Structure 1
């Protein structure tokens, strides 16, 4: 396993307290990346392909100027002096390596060279680029190293470093370099070999005296673990660690509860990482191997608008999913609990909408598999420290290879977000996610739940209510009154129309998420909606198919997921 790697850094400051870990390598954050005021030169040795920074692959060296988006990069390796052929090197191999960084101020050229530890410096550099660093670096500057951090242990060995400014980088004397850290147990000294049998015998006697107590304590942490789970390695958490992290799943650490279980805040004992632990019940072993395999696969997704799924644990009749902890909680708390949370501004809402659209586009089109989330709603959108929206809760998600046919499954999701074709055919697709995203757009803009019959003043079915106001030319009357008119009218009307378009009962009328991103980014204008286009409401469509949403929406309550965990595992 590997995290994002490490970097050689030249910086005017040694204060990186505002920097983020993981893909930001402890150097920058989402706000200051790309700023000329950073005055940072970094040579990254990156081991994960990050779409956000347009990485070329998951094993490359890059030259970074004030940003994690490399101005030039190359797959890790070196050019053989004998025949000029390129020899690939694996940054996560655990092998020791050496690297040289040169800058010639007169020619304004930066070069990066690397090689195995016992090889002389190759004549041809791995990367060579012209760049005037006098416009970047400040005096004085510090030279050092930075690396990503996280839950997974990671080792990268570049033991020999050499940096030359306006002169060739000095040669590296490999004989003076430290040895690689030892992996595995240390050899036993002779004294230990003598005393170990005596100590072992003593231990056996003591063990017999406390055997019953130990067994009783361990029963508290008994897990369900089968042979096929060995391949998932560090994605499997121990129940004991999760139990202690949440103080025994104490209600004081309860973050929320839904149709599939409760979510607790926890701090992992070893790494001190804050996590969110979701406990869900599973009644059947059918399909559990496939379900866990998909959980682990989803755990490899890296995107700034998707909550990181770190792993899982199984114990008796329950499954525990472990996520990154989002300190500002879920979006629905800001939309509906005004006594406890401040009202979100329109700028914040619009940024959250664009972020969730970006994450959903990545799941549908950009990742190695097609991920259908199946439960997009405000309560599954979490807010990070900067109030950016992140799509979370992948307990219902399904994975497909690109270009394959979708399979029929049990209907799961949340009332008000279910596309009519999903209810009628049982086939979840990217366009059923688009339908739910349309309901989400209306929910965020109007501050109303998609289905709400709690009072006469409630809009009932939100999409029909917004459609009715649009047909009457009163679309702005549906915008959340708590904004008190302080919003961009053009943007709000645009989002409402886009929500209606995404919520269209006919799939051929809905855009895909790539088109949605083009609309939101202003690259393509939103199609003009006509009365004919929107003449079929979601309610009439579903009733024509023999499905009464009013009846089903009354139980369970609006906003609650429908289905069971056995449905999930059994349908895979």
Structure 2
């Protein structure tokens, strides 16, 4: 008899497991009172709409059914048949532009680790996209053409398997013609309700995706129909839900109803019971105003005159320079009025710093409350402005964790305003020079060096075009809230297609970081960026600027000084004294950084490593080459070939008794 309680407990557990295992589906005609797992900015509105994203820039939202579902048949390990249908709507502030789309997703967990907004749709991130370990299946309703993922257009439906490079995709459309000859296009960002059906047949491993307008019966012809065995990627139990993201355009993504079923077709939604979308367009005019208008006309005339005067003055105050070619860049252009309000009228209290090309202000955008940094750059000439803005907009599409995002721009009268992400800890140089407020330890410095190297590798090789930054230095490396280094200030960056030859241009940059060949060729290349990165590594490790105007002739130029110490077998004597003795840093890491800085500073571009090699050296994935052979380094290299051309740009005496010190002093006096 004493075994009876144990037997009864086991019986109850078996019963509970049996009931849970029979959970095969659900139907939501609206989401009022429904318990979903919400992440990001997703929410359920009071009238029962599932709002995945609101009108916020660069955000993401997730919504998942809270319980896992048994997708695999225990007897054979194959994914069983399943079906889902849902009604969605995408409402954008512009009729022709949107902030990315919605994805129905089946995932091993309700969280999507490392997921990013914008083109990543909140599904994956830079380090997870394309990995087989994701075990994710998704159907995307994508409203932006991301070339890096080979999207067919900016209005398509795609089947994604562990990746955002769709396994199969098609333009958003539907057909009620059984012959398949007439397809009618649908605009995903029309703001209208549409219905989607996603079906998987476990027997013949067939995936069908169908799209149709609201209130139109399900078409017999699927928009996408492919054969793929999901048993190869899905786990035994999975979660189902939605993911969505926004970019630079204010967009809201809604799901109005959702039905899901295992081992059978999803139950049809009762469309008449679905919640209503928010009103789109201008509100109706007040009746009180309509009735009272004839009475207040005499008073309103005088008020109108004063108002016109006020408006004219205000328009002059916030006047912008907009040309026809800029209409294509609408989502990337900020209103001067918004930037003026964000920075409190560009008051000195909001001033973050003053550089060689303008002032930088802290601001909070009035619409989204996003904290930004606004750089005011003067431009007296319109020559090349169209090409420059095109490059600014192109750079604004880059996404990498070690780059400061360039959110957009504004043009007004004689100035250009560039809008960046705000970095709360400011620039790195403030933590290295002139009695810093606090000293960065070696672990932080080494992490910053590796982070900037990763960002440069992305610019040089991993983005859709080659980007040469042209102004790498500690003052252009900004620190986020966790003291991670991010390369910023893309005002001088140049872009060109991979495999092509960069165009000749003006020599720009900062003295001490300029590669010697720039004076001769006037072509900025990844090699010239590597030279500047070498100088950057040395200043972080040594706590000194590339050129010290107060230094002696022997240690005036940082690269030459480090090289001299290395040649005497005493390279660690150059370490920043603020780091203390060898107990304050990892000797092997410091030795690597100093020697790699020298290698990157070689006067011969062909002798410098690529940024991919630099990243491998810093990660310990490859040994550093032997530096036993003599190196041509630093400003000394300017004394060789191309020196005459350099002299025409930086005037100093061309006599036979000049020294490196006199050259450096002249360079410093001319600035950039």
Which band: TM-score by shorter chain?
Answer: 0.7 to 0.9
Counterpart secondary structure, 1:130: helix
Q: Does 1:248 align with 2:345?
A: yes
Judged with a 3 Å threshold, the aligned counterparts in structure 2 of structure 1 residues 368 and 14 are, in CA distance, closer, same or farther, namely: closer
Q: Distance in 1 between matches of 2:325 and 2:513?
A: 35
Judged with a 3 Å threshold, the aligned counterparts in structure 2 of structure 1 residues 480 and 91 are, in CA distance, closer, same or farther, namely: farther
1:328-347 alignment to 2 at 5 Å? 328-336=425-433, 338-346=435-443
Gaps of 5+ in 2: 1-96, 653-659
Deviation at 1:157, TM superposition (A): 6.1
Deviation at 1:295, TM superposition (A): 1.4
Question: Does the 8 A contact of 2:119 with 2:247 survive in 1?
Answer: no
Deviation at 1:323, TM superposition (A): 0.7
1:279 to 371, 376, 380: 376
**Which whole-Å deviations, capped at 9, do the CAs of 1:36-71 have from their partners, x for residues lacking one?**
xx99998765556889xx856486656688xxx679
Q: Distance in 2 between matches of 1:490 and 1:62?
A: 48
Q: Does 1:448 align with 2:540?
A: no
Q: Distance in 2 between matches of 1:127 and 1:361?
A: 38
Q: Does 1:418 align with 2:519?
A: no
Q: Which residue number corresponds to residue 474 of structure 1? A: 570
Counterpart secondary structure, 1:414: coil
TM-score, normalising length: structure 1: 0.79
Q: Distance in 1 between matches of 2:116 and 2:439?
A: 26
Deviation at 1:493, TM superposition (A): 1.9
In the comparison of the two structures, how many residue pairs are matched?
Answer: 548
Counterpart secondary structure, 2:501: coil
Question: Does the 8 A contact of 1:243 with 1:249 survive in 2?
Answer: yes
Q: Does 1:460 align with 2:556?
A: yes
Question: Does the 8 A contact of 1:411 with 1:423 survive in 2?
Answer: yes
The CA RMSD over aligned residues, in Å, is 4.4
**Which whole-Å deviations, capped at 9, do the CAs of 1:252-288 have from their partners, x for residues lacking one?**
1111111111111000111111110001111222222
1:136-535 alignment to 2 at 5 Å? 145-149=242-246, 151-156=248-253, 159=256, 161-165=258-262, 168-174=265-271, 176-177=273-274, 183-185=280-282, 203-336=300-433, 338-346=435-443, 348-456=444-552, 459-484=555-580, 485=582, 486-532=584-630, 534=631
Q: Distance in 1 between matches of 2:422 and 2:554?
A: 33
Q: Distance in 1 between matches of 2:159 and 2:619?
A: 29
Counterpart secondary structure, 1:408: coil
Deviation at 1:4, TM superposition (A): 4.5
Q: Distance in 1 between matches of 2:613 and 2:297?
A: 68
Judged with a 3 Å threshold, the aligned counterparts in structure 2 of structure 1 residues 496 and 321 are, in CA distance, closer, same or farther, namely: same
Q: Distance in 2 between matches of 1:522 and 1:476?
A: 20
Q: Which residue number corresponds to residue 570 of structure 1? A: none
Judged with a 3 Å threshold, the aligned counterparts in structure 2 of structure 1 residues 74 and 277 are, in CA distance, closer, same or farther, namely: same
Q: Distance in 2 between matches of 1:288 and 1:276?
A: 22
Question: Does the 8 A contact of 2:105 with 2:136 survive in 1?
Answer: yes
Judged with a 3 Å threshold, the aligned counterparts in structure 2 of structure 1 residues 47 and 555 are, in CA distance, closer, same or farther, namely: farther
1:130 to 192, 207, 231: 231
Deviation at 1:380, TM superposition (A): 0.8
Judged with a 3 Å threshold, the aligned counterparts in structure 2 of structure 1 residues 5 and 319 are, in CA distance, closer, same or farther, namely: same
More deviation, 523-532/114-123: 114-123
Question: Does the 8 A contact of 1:99 with 1:160 survive in 2?
Answer: no
Judged with a 3 Å threshold, the aligned counterparts in structure 2 of structure 1 residues 476 and 41 are, in CA distance, closer, same or farther, namely: farther
Q: Distance in 1 between matches of 2:526 and 2:211?
A: 45
TM-score, normalising length: structure 2: 0.69
**Which whole-Å deviations, capped at 9, do the CAs of 1:317-360 have from their partners, x for residues lacking one?**
221111111122112222225541342332x2222222222222
Q: Distance in 2 between matches of 1:126 and 1:352?
A: 46
Deviation at 1:416, TM superposition (A): 0.7
Question: Does the 8 A contact of 2:556 with 2:661 survive in 1?
Answer: no
Judged with a 3 Å threshold, the aligned counterparts in structure 2 of structure 1 residues 120 and 194 are, in CA distance, closer, same or farther, namely: farther
Judged with a 3 Å threshold, the aligned counterparts in structure 2 of structure 1 residues 197 and 543 are, in CA distance, closer, same or farther, namely: farther
Larger gyration radius, structure 1 or structure 2: 2
Q: Distance in 1 between matches of 2:304 and 2:115?
A: 49
**Which whole-Å deviations, capped at 9, do the CAs of 1:402-422 have from their partners, x for residues lacking one?**
333322222110011000111
Question: Does the 8 A contact of 1:94 with 1:157 survive in 2?
Answer: no
Judged with a 3 Å threshold, the aligned counterparts in structure 2 of structure 1 residues 130 and 304 are, in CA distance, closer, same or farther, namely: same
Q: Distance in 2 between matches of 1:449 and 1:392?
A: 19
Question: Does the 8 A contact of 1:245 with 1:269 survive in 2?
Answer: yes
Q: Distance in 2 between matches of 1:200 and 1:9?
A: 58
1:45-124 alignment to 2 at 5 Å? 55=149, 57=151, 61=158, 74-75=168-169, 96-100=193-197, 113-117=209-213, 118=216, 119-120=218-219
Counterpart secondary structure, 2:251: coil
Q: Which residue number corresponds to residue 568 of structure 1? A: none
Q: Distance in 2 between matches of 1:45 and 1:526?
A: 47
Deviation at 1:300, TM superposition (A): 1.7
Judged with a 3 Å threshold, the aligned counterparts in structure 2 of structure 1 residues 364 and 32 are, in CA distance, closer, same or farther, namely: closer
Question: Does the 8 A contact of 2:130 with 2:164 survive in 1?
Answer: no
Question: Does the 8 A contact of 1:103 with 1:167 survive in 2?
Answer: no
Counterpart secondary structure, 1:163: strand
Question: Does the 8 A contact of 2:401 with 2:486 survive in 1?
Answer: yes
Deviation at 1:481, TM superposition (A): 2.9
Deviation at 1:247, TM superposition (A): 0.8
Q: Distance in 2 between matches of 1:96 and 1:229?
A: 32
Question: Does the 8 A contact of 1:76 with 1:89 survive in 2?
Answer: no
